């Protein structure tokens, strides 16, 4: 519904609806989503309805991460700033900065995971150890991946967010500073042919080793990307499974309620059938009484007619006798 100034009425804005949905516990998500989507369809906002309906139910870990983001805005802002600093330090390979930021990362991820667990427990949804680990994984992804950071900053995490790779600041901090490879030793002028061949073989071996390292790096990058894609699919499947389980629970509840109504109606039907049988029995008895009464009535009518005829004859005989007496 639009107001006269052209803006959406309060409660109709899609972004506000999505914020509302992702603030809900997973158990309440689907019912409220369908309610809001139906409301948008009723108000002829088909595109908004499709977007609302497309919102995926968050896992318990995703909901806890969103709850942390909304309930601790100051800590969340500092956490996002730490992530930007870590990514910058990682990109520039600053070992000193990485070492200091890595310590902050471990401490803050652990502390914020505990806060998320406490908030979820206060909201009536305690987290298992496995779910807490998923929250920690999500927070590490927020530090490592700007896209994950944007999703968490919006408060719309659906499942477990995973870093794009092993974002191990400690490993980078421990690595030696980048330096140019040493130049191959030059063969003294007038060196032997064997020495020159040995030098050439060494250069070829170094080149082959560098190609091998490049292949391994490329293979590792592909493997990390495949793992990330697989973990993303796993998160989607988990969310879909939880959504299907919630839908199954709702359908089971509706089936139970319908079964109770059917049982009540069947009981009423049994009582009505019993009453109908009794009524049929009463109709038979009444019909028999009616036939008996009809026969008795017919007999009485015949007797009354015969009595009337006898009375008429008696009266006629009496009148005839009186007439004879008068003539005499």
What pLDDT is attached to residue 64?
96
CA–CA gap between residue 195 and residue 201 (Å, rounded): 10
Beta strands in 68-227 (DSSP E): none
What pLDDT is attached to residue 1?
41
Burial of 267 (0-12, 13-18, 19+ CB in 10 A): exposed
Sign of CA dihedral 168, 174, 178, 183: negative
Q: State the chain's mean pLDDT as an integer.
A: 80
Summarised one tens digit per residue, pLDDT across range 243-263 is 677 678 777 777 887 888 888
What pLDDT is attached to residue 15?
92
CA–CA gap between residue 200 and residue 184 (Å, rounded): 10
What pLDDT is attached to residue 62?
94
Nearest CA among 237, 261, 264 for reference residue 59:
237
CA–CA gap between residue 8 and residue 225 (Å, rounded): 41
Low-confidence ranges of the chain (pLDDT < 50): 1-10, 166, 168-190
Angle of helix 14-22 relative to helix 46-54, nearest 10 degrees?
20
CB 9 within 8 A of CB 3: yes
What pLDDT is attached to residue 180?
39
What pLDDT is attached to residue 150?
94
What pLDDT is attached to residue 328?
64
Nearest CA among 247, 204, 227 for reference residue 137:
227
CA–CA gap between residue 20 and residue 121 (Å, rounded): 20
Contacts of residue 310, defined as CB under 8 A and 6 or more positions apart, other chains included, come to none
Distance, CA of 91 to chain centre: 38
DSSP label of 49? H
Torsion of CA 306, 310, 312, 317, to 10 degrees: 160
What pLDDT is attached to residue 6?
41
Distance, CA of 30 to chain centre: 5
What pLDDT is attached to residue 173?
37
Q: Which two tokens stand for residue 175?
A: 């690595």
């Amino acid at each position: 519904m639009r107001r006269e100034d052209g803006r959406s009425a309060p409660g109709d804005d899609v972004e506000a609806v999505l914020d509302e949905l992702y603030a809900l516990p997973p158990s309440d998500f689907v019912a409220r989503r369908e309610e809001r989507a139906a409301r948008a369809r009723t108000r002829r906002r088909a595109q908004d309805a499709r977007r609302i309906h497309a919102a995926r139910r968050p896992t318990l870990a995703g909901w806890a991460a969103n709850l942390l983001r909304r309930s601790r805005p100051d800590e969340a802002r500092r956490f996002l700033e730490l992530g930007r600093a870590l990514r910058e330090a990682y990109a520039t390979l600053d070992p000193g900065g990485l070492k200091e930021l890595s310590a902050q990362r471990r401490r803050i991820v652990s502390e914020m995971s505990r806060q998320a667990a406490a908030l979820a427990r206060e909201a009536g949804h305690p987290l298992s150890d496995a779910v807490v680990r998923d929250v920690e994984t999500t927070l590490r992804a927020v530090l490592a991946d700007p896209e994950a950071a944007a999703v968490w900053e919006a408060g719309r995490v659906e499942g477990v967010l995973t870093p794009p790779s092993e974002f191990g600041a400690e490993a980078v901090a421990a690595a030696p500073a980048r330096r140019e490879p040493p130049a191959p030793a030059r063969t003294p002028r007038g060196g032997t042919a064997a020495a020159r061949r040995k030098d050439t073989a060494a250069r070829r071996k170094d080149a082959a080793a560098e190609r091998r390292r490049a292949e391994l790096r490329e293979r590792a990058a592909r493997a990390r990307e495949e793992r990330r894609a697989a973990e993303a699919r796993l998160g989607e499947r988990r969310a879909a499974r939880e959504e299907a389980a919630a839908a199954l629970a709702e359908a089971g509840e509706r089936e139970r309620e319908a079964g109770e109504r059917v049982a009540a109606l069947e009981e009423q039907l049994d009582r009505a059938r019993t009453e109908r049988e009794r009524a049929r029995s009463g109709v038979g008895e009444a019909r028999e009484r009616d036939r008996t009464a009809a026969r008795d009535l017919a007999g009485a009518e015949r007797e009354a007619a015969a009595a009337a005829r006898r009375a008429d004859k008696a009266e006629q005989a009496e009148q005839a006798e009186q007439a004879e007496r008068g003539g005499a």
